[in-house]
Structure 1
Amino acid sequence: MNRDSHNRTKRTARSATVLTGAALLLAGLQGPALAAPSPVAPEPRTAGTAEACHAVELSSTAEGFTAPASTRPGLTTFRASTTQPGKGWIGLARLKDGKGWGDFLNALSRALSNTPSDVPQGAEDLDETATLLGGLVIHPGQPGSFTQRLYPGTYLLFDYLAAGDAEPRYRRLTVTGDAVDQGLTPTATVVSKNVPGAGPRFEVHGTLRAGRPLRYVNEIPGQVNELLFAQIKEGTTKADLKAYFDAMPDDGTLPPNSPFTSVSLGSLHLSTGTSSVVQVPLERTRYAAITWSKDATDGIKLVKKGLFTIVDVE
C-alpha cells in the first residue's frame, strides 16, 4: 500500500470509529453533560457468574491497551474496563487465513463508513477478512464482560475507538492448549433478524435484568451488526424514535432534541450466525435497543429500516 492510500485508509477508519453510538449519543444530548450512572452492584458469586469463568482481563488507560498474548480454547469470558474517555471499546475478531491488521482495518472502515456507496463492497471484503465476535461498548466506571467460544487460531483484540489512530491499539491473541467450558449465564436473549414483510428487527426473549448477562445473536444474512442500549426520556414511544432516526443524515451527525438520556452500553459487531454473552451495567429503567450499523446492501442505517425497539430492564 502506498503512503497516500495508507493515509486515506487511516482517515476513513478514524471517521468510522464514532459510528457505534456512545460518542454520537453524548454529542447529541441537550443540556449539561451527564455524569456516568453508578455501577449496578454485582450479584453474589455462584457457579454461573463471571467469577467462576475462564477469564481474560483487558484494560484500556491513557498509557495504552493491556491484553494477554494467548489463552485457551473454549468458553472464555473477557472482562474489560477503561479509565480514559473516548477509548476502551474492545472488539474481538478472528482473522481468516493470510489476513492481517491492515486488511482488517481497511475492510472494517469501509463496511462501517458514513458514505453509503462504500458499505456494500466493504461489507463483502470484511466477510472475507475476519469473523467479528462482538466486544463491549463501555465507559470509565462502567466495566463489562462478554463470553465467546474460542477455537485454536489467531484473533485480534482491538480498541474500536482508536482503530484509526496513528498508533492503533490492537493485540494479537493466540488460542492454543486444552479447552475449557465455563461462561456467563444469560437471563435473556436478544436476536437481530429479518422478519418477512417487516425488515430487520430486534426480538427479545426472556427478562433483561440490571447488571446481569444477556445473549446477543445476529441472524441477519450477510450483515455485521451491534446491539446497544441507551436510556430514553420518559414517555418516549417507538414512533418518536422512528421520527428521530428518519431525520438522521448519512454523515453520522445527530439531529437536535435527542430522545436519549445516557451514553450507550452493549455489544460491538457480530458477524452473521454468531452470538456473544454480554454483561454491562444496565440499570433498572427503560432503554432503546439500537444499532448504528449500515445495511450491507445499500449503506443505509439499519435503524431507518426499523432495527430498534424499546425494552424494560428489571
Structure 2
Amino acid sequence: MHRHLPSAVLAGSLAASLLLPAPAAHATHTASAPTPRTIAHSPALQEVDIAVTPEGITAPSVLRSGAITFHVRSADPAGSWIGLVRLRPGVSLKTYLADLRRAMGDDPVTGGRAVARDAEMLGGAAVAHAPAAATLNVAPGTYHLVDFQDLGLPDLADRVRRVTVLPGRPAAASRPRAAGPTSRITLRDGGFDAPGVLTGPVRVVNRSRQHNEAMLMPVRPGTTLADLDSFFGAVDAGHDPGGSPFTGGPTGVVPLSPGRSAVLRTELPSGTYALVSWVRDLDSGRMFAARGMRALVTVQG
C-alpha cells in the first residue's frame, strides 16, 4: 500500500442499485457536494455522491449491485483517497484497519501482504483540488468505504462507512447516457501501458500481480522522466529527495486488486501530469515507481 510522505516533499497534499430510486438516494447526501459538471448520468448506472470533510465521509449505506459511479468531492485540505473494500470471510474491520496501518506505515511488505489477504480492493477515487468519479462493478455483499488519508487518526474505525449492496438494479432514470471511456491505462508489474494523451473518461485495469493504483499529479514545467526517477529513487531509499517535481496532490484510482478495473472521470485542468503508483512491491518492498512505474502524460480537458 501507500506510504505517507510529508506534504512539503510532495509540494501538496499526498500522504472504494440504490434501494430507492436515485433521486431519493441523493437526498441522503450533503448538499455541498454537487455532481462534477463533466460527468453525465446514465440510466444503467447508480450515481452516488461521496462528500468528504475533515469530520468524515457522508455516503449512502445501501446500494444495489451493478455498475456504481462514486462521485467524490472533498472539502478536506489534505484531499481524500476514498476506496471501496470487501473484507474476506472471517476478517474483522479492526483486523483490516490494523493491517492497513502497518502497510501504510513502517511495515509495507508484511502489512501489505496481510491487507491483500484481508480484503478485495475494488478501487475508488483519490481527489486533491478537483472532484473525481470512479465507476466500479460491485456484486451483492457487505463493503466498507475507507478514506486512506484518515489512517493516522485515532477515530479511524468510526470514520469508515459500512455499505450494504443488495441484488438487483436501481430504477432507471430518464437521463442521458454517460460517455464511455475514451482512454485506457493498464497497470503491469513493469510499468503503465498508457497513451501519451488522456482524453475523456479513462478505464484503469490492473494486470499486475498485486493490488496497484494509477495517480495523476501535476508537475513543474520542464519535468522529465529523469526528474521523476531521481525523486522516486531517493524516496525509495529513504532519503530526502531535496525537492519535488509535483505542484499538487494526486487525483486518480486508489488501489485495485489484480484483475479489477475502474473508469475514472475527473475535472483536472489540461496540462502535463505524472502518472505514478505509490504502492510498494510486496516481494521486495521497493516502490513500483522507483522501478519504472511512472510516465508523463498530457491531460486534455
Category of TM-score, reference length = shorter chain: 0.7 to 0.9
2:228 pairs with 205, 226, 241, which one? 241
Once residues 17 and 245 of structure 1 are traced to their aligned partners in structure 2, the CA distance between those partners, rounded to angstroms, is: 12
The question of 1:192 aligning with 2:187 is answered yes
Tell me the CA shift for residue 149 of structure 1: 0.5
Aligned to 1:7: none
Tell me the CA shift for residue 205 of structure 1: 4.6
Tell me the CA shift for residue 84 of structure 1: 1.9
Aligned to 1:54: 46
Once residues 276 and 143 of structure 1 are traced to their aligned partners in structure 2, the CA distance between those partners, rounded to angstroms, is: 16
Question: In the TM superposition, what whole-angstrom CA distance separates every residue of 1:85-133 from its partner, at most 9, and x where no partner exists?
Answer: 12532111111112221121122223333x3xx3332232222210111
Aligned to 1:3: none
Letter of the structure 1 residue corresponding to residue 168 of structure 2: D
Q: What CA RMSD, in Å, does the superposition of the two structures yield over aligned residues? A: 2.8
Contact 1:83 1:139 (8 Å CA) reproduced: no
What are the equivalent positions in structure 2 for 1:9-48 lying under 5 Å apart? Answer: 18=4, 24-26=9-11, 42-43=37-38
Contact 1:22 1:265 (8 Å CA) reproduced: no
SS of aligned partner of 1:208 = strand
**Structure 1's 155 and 206: CA in aligned 2 closer, same or farther, altered over 3 A?**
farther
Tell me the CA shift for residue 257 of structure 1: 2.8
**Structure 1's 101 and 87: CA in aligned 2 closer, same or farther, altered over 3 A?**
farther
The question of 1:138 aligning with 2:133 is answered no
Once residues 135 and 254 of structure 1 are traced to their aligned partners in structure 2, the CA distance between those partners, rounded to angstroms, is: 30
What are the equivalent positions in structure 2 for 1:159-170 lying under 5 Å apart? Answer: 159-168=147-156, 169-170=159-160
**Structure 1's 298 and 27: CA in aligned 2 closer, same or farther, altered over 3 A?**
same
Letter of the structure 1 residue corresponding to residue 10 of structure 2: L
Aligned to 1:203: 193
SS of aligned partner of 1:125 = helix
The alignment of Structure 1 onto Structure 2 pairs a total of residues equal to: 271
**Structure 1's 250 and 50: CA in aligned 2 closer, same or farther, altered over 3 A?**
farther
| Worse overlay, 177-186 or 70-79 | 177-186
Once residues 225 and 261 of structure 1 are traced to their aligned partners in structure 2, the CA distance between those partners, rounded to angstroms, is: 23
Contact 1:50 1:77 (8 Å CA) reproduced: no
Letter of the structure 1 residue corresponding to residue 180 of structure 2: T
Tell me the CA shift for residue 215 of structure 1: 1.1
Once residues 265 and 240 of structure 2 are traced to their aligned partners in structure 1, the CA distance between those partners, rounded to angstroms, is: 27
2:201 pairs with 197, 202, 213, which one? 213
Aligned to 2:21: none
Once residues 72 and 206 of structure 1 are traced to their aligned partners in structure 2, the CA distance between those partners, rounded to angstroms, is: 36
Aligned to 2:273: 287
Aligned to 2:284: 298
Q: Percent identity?
A: 32
Gaps of 5+ in 1: 1-12, 30-40, 195-199
Tell me the CA shift for residue 275 of structure 1: 0.9
What are the equivalent positions in structure 2 for 1:92-111 lying under 5 Å apart? Answer: 92-111=84-103
